[in-house]
Amino acid sequence: MSSMFDLSGKVALVTGANTGLGQGMALALAGAGANIVLIGRSEPTETLIEIAKLGVKSHSILTDLGSADNVAGIVAEAAATFGSVDILVNNAGIIKRNEAIEFTPEEWDSVMNVNLRTLFFLSQAFARHLVDEKKTGKIINIASMLTFQGGIRVPSYTASKSAVGGLTKALANEWAQHGINVNAIAPGYFATNNTAALQADEKRNSEILRRIPSERWGEPSDLSGAVVFLASAGSDYVQGITLPVDGGWLSR
């Protein structure tokens, strides 16, 4: 059974893996045997060191994902480095908090560009490569509780993550025929930089904890099982889903 989840010899691209959930998922995929390409704007020093300890290879591509101009170059560099690409985890994301009535075009565009526009065009570049090479692969998008709910004071984040849920289904519908699985993970409330403001706000922190049946914030390693499953042969017939990993938040 464990061979179904074995990623030995596979190559996984993970965006935003210098910290937080991206780092946790990169380490989980490396732990399952994959070589990892880390894509982001900050040097992922700690992640590279931790991956090396797991006995697989890694490569870092430094690029600003606020623009989708370089997506074909990213896929080409990853494929040239390790000879192939198999898995793409679209994790990089940002959030801007402001009243909807005050929200600025910059707060809208910056979030939509990283969370949605680059996610789409990087997925397209990855899928084009697989189709050209007649190879199968896995795309895993990182969604959010705000793929299902409205949130408050985060209109561009909610719009982007709701769109990620829809886009995941749309791409699965088109690319399943090529043996490309497109699925998403919706993390609940995880303790990372992205939620630092919420964790620090005593009132919001206790409101959030009260609603989580597991009675704690998630840790990046809580995504390990879901990401390895969706990256592995174990999910070959799973298409277009957004899998919540939320300690039960959505069940309340």
Q: Which of 5, 19, 54, 176 binds ligand NAP (CB under 6 A)?
A: 19
Considering only the stretches 30-38, 96-104, 187-195, 232-240, report the one whose residues sit in contact with ligand NAP under the rule CB under 6 A: 187-195
CB of residue 218 to ligand NAP, shortest distance in Å: 7
Q: What whole-number distance in Å separates Cα of residue 34 and Cα of residue 104?
A: 41
Instruction: State which residue, 176 or 191, has the beta carbon closest to ligand NAP.
Output: 191
| Count of Cβ atoms closer than 10 Å to residue 205 Cβ | 15
> Using the rule CB under 6 A, is 41 a contact of ligand NAP?
yes
d(CA 97, CA 151) in angstroms, rounded, equals: 11
d(CA 78, CA 103) in angstroms, rounded, equals 37
User: Is 34 near ligand NAP (CB under 6 A)?
Assistant: no
d(CA 12, CA 242): 20
Tell me if 65 contacts ligand NAP by CB under 6 A. yes
- H or E element that contains 140: strand 137-142
Measured from the CB atom, is 31 or 66 closer to ligand NAP?
A: 66
92 makes contact with ligand NAP (CB under 6 A): yes
Residues within window 191-210 making contact with ligand NAP, judged by CB under 6 A? 192-195
Asked if 155 is part of the footprint of ligand NAP (rule: CB under 6 A), the reply reads: no
Would you say the C-alpha torsion 142, 145, 149, 152 has a positive or negative sign?
Answer: negative
User: Measured from the CB atom, is 117 or 138 closer to ligand NAP?
Assistant: 117
71-82 helix and 118-133 helix, angle to the nearest 10 degrees: 40
Strands 87-90 and 11-15, sheet pairing: parallel
The reply to whether 189 belongs to the active site is: no
The CA distance from 192 to 188, in Å, is: 12
| Lookup: tokens for 16 | 């935003």
Answer yes or no whether residue 64 interacts with ligand NAP by CB under 6 A. yes
Q: Is 33 in the site for ligand NAP (CB under 6 A)?
A: no
Which of 187/240 has CB closer to ligand NAP?
Answer: 187
Residues in contact with ligand NAP by the rule CB under 6 A: 16, 18-22, 40-42, 64-66, 91-94, 114, 142, 144, 187, 189-190, 192-195
